[in-house]
């Protein structure tokens, strides 16, 4: 009795299992790629913000250095 069950349903169960594993892997890969892209965008935005802060700081220091050198007697 059980042998007939396995003869009948082994291939369909194997196909469904294989398809489920394949689908899971595709969805997992897509999710991981989207996560990596999101992290990359956030990192690039943070880097751009920090570069702007460094540039503003450098400009402020240059102006302060220019004022100091202009006010000193020679």
Q: pLDDT tier at 65 (50, 70, 90 boundaries)?
A: confident
Output the six-digit token pair for 22. 């394949």
* 3-class DSSP string for the chain: CHHHHHHHHHHHHHHHHHHHHHHHHHHHHHHHHHHHHHHHHHHHHHHHHHHHHHHHHHHHHHHHHHHHHHHCCC
pLDDT of residue 14: 97
Q: pLDDT tier at 70 (50, 70, 90 boundaries)?
A: low
Residue 2 has what DSSP assignment?
H
Interval 7-28: pLDDT, tens: 999 999 999 999 999 999 999 9
Interval 25-45: pLDDT, tens: 999 999 999 999 999 999 999
pLDDT of residue 2: 85
């Amino acid at each position: 009795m059980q042998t007939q069950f396995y003869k009948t349903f082994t291939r369909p169960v194997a196909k469904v299992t294989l398809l489920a594993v394949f689908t899971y892997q595709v969805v997992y890969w897509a999710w991981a790629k989207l996560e990596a892209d999101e992290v990359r965008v956030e990192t690039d935005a943070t880097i751009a913000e920090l570069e702007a802060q460094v540039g503003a700081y450098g400009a402020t220091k240059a102006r302060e250095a220019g004022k100091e050198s202009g006010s000193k007697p020679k």
